[in-house]
Amino acid sequence: MVIPMTRQIPHIPQIPPELWTCDLLEEDSLHEVRCVECGKCGMADKVYQQDLEGFVVAVFEHYGAPTREAEIIASNLVSADLRGIASHGVARLGRYISGIKAGYICPGIEFGVEEPVPAIGVIDAYNGVGQVVSDKAMRMAIDKAKINGVGLVTVKNSNHYGIAGYWVQLALEHKMIGISMTNAAPLVIPTHGAKALLGTNPIAMGVPTASGSPILIDFATSVVPRGKLEVYDRNRKQMPVGWTVDDKGYDCQNPGLVLRNLLDRVGGGILPLGGRGEEFGGHKGFCMAIMVDLLCGVLSGSGYGDDVHNLKREVPEGEVAAPRVGHFFMALDIEKFMPLAEFEARAQGFVDMVRENPKALDQERVFLPGEKEQERTRLHTTHGIPLSDVVYNTLRKVAGNIGLEPPPSVAERARARALATGRKDGGDNG
C-alpha cells in the first residue's frame, strides 16, 4: 500500500515585527519596550510623551482627522506606551493608517446619537475612529451619572478603541466608578467548542480611593493574548498544553498552525480564561466573554461573535466591509450612593487589607490591579517612553511617507539642549 504524501504548506511566521522576546528570559517573557523590571533588552530609543503625542497628532491630521480627534487618538495610544502596554500604543499606528486608507476607519464623521431615556445613550459610530466615539460615549455616561446616579452608553459600528482602562480613567477624574468593555475579532473558542467565535473581549473598571491612587482593573477574557502565540511561533517553540486547540478541538502545541487557522478562520483558537473545559473554570472565562459580546455587540446593535472584524464578508455594492466593533460604557456617581469621602475611605481600607495580606515565600509585595502600570507611567513621564527599535523605525517610515520629521529621541533632545547651552555660554561654535 502506497501512502500518498500530503502537500507541505510553507511555514509563514505570523509574528509582527514589533514583538520581541527577551534573550535572557527566552520565550517566557514578551517584550515590546525596555521595561524597568528588565532594562537589558537592547531597545534604547526613548521619546518624551509630548513629542510622541505631537507626532501622532500630525500623522492623523495628515490623514484627514480634525485636530481635536487627532489629539484624542494620540492621547489614547501614547497612554498605552506610558503604561508599558506597547501592543496597544504607537506600534498600532500603521494599522490605523491602513484602516483609513481602506475606508473602514473614517475620521471626521458625525456620529448618530440617541437618548431614549435620561440615563441611557445609544451611539452609531458610522465606522468612525474608535477612540473618538469612545471619548464622546464615556463623557456622555459621566454627564448622565451626574444627574441620574448612573449613565449607560452603547456604541455600534465602531473600530478598535485602544486600551479599555483608558476610558474608565475619564470617570475617575470626576470621582466616579467607571466601567468599559469592547468586543473584538474572533480569537477565542467557546468551552467545548472547536472554532474561534469570541474576541479577547476586555473588561475594565476604575475605582477611586482616599490615597489618590485608584484601583484600575483591565483584563482580557482569554488565557493568553495572541501575541504570546506569535512569540512561540517566531522561536519555533511548542506552546504549553492548555493555551489553544486545533480545528478539531484537540489540545494544540503548534503556534504556527493555530495562527494560520485563526487567519483563515477555519477552526481552532485560544482558550477562554481558565483554560479548556470546566475543571479550572474555563467556562467562567467563556461566560465573561459572552457577557461582553452581549453588552457590546448584541445590545448595541453592532457585530458580535465571528461577525466582528469580518472584512471578507459580502456587502452591498458601493459599501466597504467594516469591523463593526461594539463598546459599552458605564459611570456611577458615588455621591448618589453615599458621601464620597466615606466611600474613598472604605475603598482605601480594602486596598490596605490586600496590602497587608501575608506574602508568598518568594514574593515581596502584593500588587493592586493597575499599580504596576501607574508606576511605569510615572517613570516614563519623567525619563521618556521606551520604544523598540522596530517601532521607532516604523515611526520614521510613517514620517518619511508623508513628509514629516519623526519624533526626536530623548538623546536628541539632550544633545540639542547641550548645544544651545554651549552657544549661550559662549562655547565653541565651530
User: Does residue 29 have a pLDDT over 50?
Assistant: no
Determine the 3-state secondary structure of 18 from DSSP: coil
Q: pLDDT digits over 361-374, tens only?
A: 888 888 899 988 98
Question: Which CATH number applies to 109-223+271-357+367-383: 3.90.660.10, 3.30.70.260, 3.30.1370.60, 3.30.420.40?
Answer: 3.30.1370.60
In the chain, residues under CATH classification 3.30.1370.60 are: 109-223+271-357+367-383
Name residue 382's amino acid.
Answer: T
Spatial separation of the C-alpha atoms in residues 208 and 331, rounded to whole Å? 12
The model's pLDDT over 218-257, given as tens digits with 9 standing for 90+, comes to: 999 999 877 678 657 766 789 998 899 998 888 999 988 9
Give the pTM.
Answer: 0.84
Tell me how far apart the alpha carbons of residues 197 and 184 are, in angstroms, rounded to a whole number.
Answer: 10
For 238, counting Cβ atoms within 10 Å of its Cβ (0-12 exposed, 13-18 middle, 19+ buried), the class is: exposed
Q: Record the cell numbers describing residue 145, joined without a space.
A: 451619572
Indicate where the chain has its CATH 1.10.1530.10 domain(s): 24-102+384-420
Q: Which residues, 6+ apart, have CB-to-CB distance to 257 below 8 Å? A: 246, 268
For the segment 371-384, what is each residue's pLDDT rounded down to a tens digit? 889 888 988 988 89
User: Do the Cβ atoms of 79 and 20 come closer than 8 Å?
Assistant: no
* CATH of the domain spanning 24-102+384-420: 1.10.1530.10
Q: DSSP character for 296?
A: I
Q: What percent of the chain has pLDDT over 70?
A: 87
**CA neighbor of 271 nearest in space, from 247, 245, 294:** 245
- Rounded to a whole number of angstroms, the distance between the first and last alpha carbons of the chain is 84
The residue written with cell numbers 487557522 in the block is: 261
| pLDDT tens digits, 273-293 | 999 889 899 999 999 999 999
- By CB atoms closer than 10 A (0-12, 13-18, 19+), residue 247 is middle
